[in-house]
Amino acid sequence: MQIENNVDLRPFNTFGLPIKAATLIHIRREADIHQVLAHPEYGRAPKFILGGGSNIVPTCDLQSVVLKIEIMGRHMVQATDQAWIVEAGAGENWPDLVAWTLENDFPGLENLALIPGTAGAAPIQNIGAYGIELKDRFLSLDAVDLKTGRSFSLAAEQCGFDYRDSIFKRNLSGRCMITRVRLHLPKNWKPVLDYPDLQRLRQDSGAARPCARQVYEWVCALRRAKLPDPAMLGNAGSFFKNPIVNNKQHAAILACAPDMVSYPLPGGGFKLSAGWMIEACGWKGRRIGNVGVYARQALVLINHGGASIQELMALAAAIQDSVHQRFGIRLELEPTLI
């Protein structure tokens, strides 16, 4: 295993914050984890697991041992009557994995194209976009318990998936390192085109039954039009979650804000558009110092270059306060603060 000290984490967090890690260990095989756990110095030290750094906001230099997950490999491991089962090492880049499945004619991940991050991080926040969440395509994962060193597997129903949430953000937070994930890609594939912009693109194209590659191209075009590329402009995707409210709260907000964008949930209640609320408070496109709100999607906060964590948190708090004052809703942060 490769160990580095005093590492600049700027390239490893997509917001590009100037943070350092006292110790960073590259984990390329499961055996590296066991070696770390048996290490006289690092074995008992607090640990932080780093994937693609696309959904974290480091708030200070990290004194814990940072384990950077770099376990690679992607294979179709089984073809059942219903599905192709694809397995990926946790360090695989998610957008590359999605592209690879489509090149190999395993459809099903096209709506999740271009989401920055690693395959191993995808279950943690149950990544989702354009009408699909990871849980809809997830079969199981392998992980190592960082306290006991025990290897174990979890099936989808054991992961407690919810909107941008899973057991890995709750009971198992910081407790285990995901090493491999397995996805279940349906053979009787049907396009998922409920998202209004996808419906519009389908209508414009005149395609009666678009193929998965076509849907992939549409999703890539939509993302490129609405969301900044972290390689060009530092960001961590949506900085806030879309809040979920009950029917009574929804009716009360709608009475004051009749144009509010919201979506009814299957089990009752509504998901409100945080982007709409932030825009309604006048934040879209605003810049304060080196940080700002993206001009094409108000949910995304951006680093114009040289941003500090203090500037970022001050902007996030100011947005939360104005949304709270106007709509009575306190927005929750979507990335994990570390």
Q: What does DSSP say about strands 234-238 and 176-186: parallel, antiparallel, or unpaired?
A: unpaired
For 48, the token pair is 């932080």
At residue 266, φ and ψ (nearest 5 deg) are: -55, -40
Region of 11-19, 39-47, 186-194, 235-243 interacting with ligand EPU (CB under 6 A): 235-243
Question: Which of 74, 164, 202, 223 is flagged as catalytic?
Answer: 164
HEC-encoded secondary structure of 221-261: HHHHHHCCCCCCCEEEEECECCCEECHHHHHHHHHHCCCCC
- Integer Cα distance of 190 and 246 in angstroms: 32
Cβ proximity to ligand EPU: between 126 and 140 the closer is 126
Residues 301, 233: contact at Cβ < 8 Å?
A: no
Residue 224: count of CB within 10 angstroms of its CB: 11
Residues 178, 158: contact at Cβ < 8 Å?
A: no
Does 237 participate in binding ligand EPU (rule CB under 6 A)? yes
Tell which one of 284, 301, 316, 327 touches ligand EPU (CB under 6 A): 284
Cβ proximity to ligand EPU: between 181 and 300 the closer is 300
- Integer Cα distance of 93 and 120 in angstroms: 9
Cβ proximity to ligand EPU: between 43 and 160 the closer is 160
CA 123 to chain centre: 9
In the residue annotation, 238 being an active-site residue is answered as yes
- Integer Cα distance of 109 and 118 in angstroms: 14
| Cβ at position 221, least distance to ligand EPU in Å | 13
Residue 92: count of CB within 10 angstroms of its CB: 24
Does 14 participate in binding ligand EPU (rule CB under 6 A)? no
Cβ proximity to ligand EPU: between 140 and 242 the closer is 242
Site string for ligand EPU, 158-197 (x = CB under 6 A): ----------------------------------------
Tell which one of 273, 290, 308, 336 touches ligand EPU (CB under 6 A): 273
- Integer Cα distance of 245 and 161 in angstroms: 19
For 158, the token pair is 């054991």
| DSSP letter assigned to residue 136 | G
Question: Within positions 32 to 71, which residues make up the interface with ligand EPU, using CB under 6 A?
Answer: none
Region of 64-72, 86-94, 182-190, 268-276 interacting with ligand EPU (CB under 6 A): 268-276
Residues 189, 83: contact at Cβ < 8 Å?
A: no
Does 298 participate in binding ligand EPU (rule CB under 6 A)? yes
In the residue annotation, 273 being an active-site residue is answered as no
CA 59 to chain centre: 18
Cβ proximity to ligand EPU: between 62 and 298 the closer is 298
| Cβ at position 282, least distance to ligand EPU in Å | 12
Region of 14-22, 143-151, 173-181, 294-302 interacting with ligand EPU (CB under 6 A): 294-302
Region of 12-20, 59-67, 200-208, 271-279 interacting with ligand EPU (CB under 6 A): 271-279
HEC-encoded secondary structure of 138-203: EEEEEEEECCCCCEEEEEHHHCCCECCECHHHCCCCCCEEEEEEEEEEECCCCCCCCCHHHHHHHH
In the residue annotation, 164 being an active-site residue is answered as yes
Q: What does DSSP say about strands 151-155 and 138-145: parallel, antiparallel, or unpaired?
A: antiparallel
Does 292 participate in binding ligand EPU (rule CB under 6 A)? no
Size of the site for ligand EPU (CB under 6 A): 18
Tell which one of 15, 130, 168, 218 touches ligand EPU (CB under 6 A): 130
Region of 27-35, 86-94, 182-190, 296-304 interacting with ligand EPU (CB under 6 A): 296-304
Positions that interact with ligand EPU (CB under 6 A): 129-130, 226-227, 237-238, 241-242, 261, 273, 275-276, 279, 284, 297-299, 334
Q: Which sequence positions are flagged as catalytic?
A: 164, 238, 334
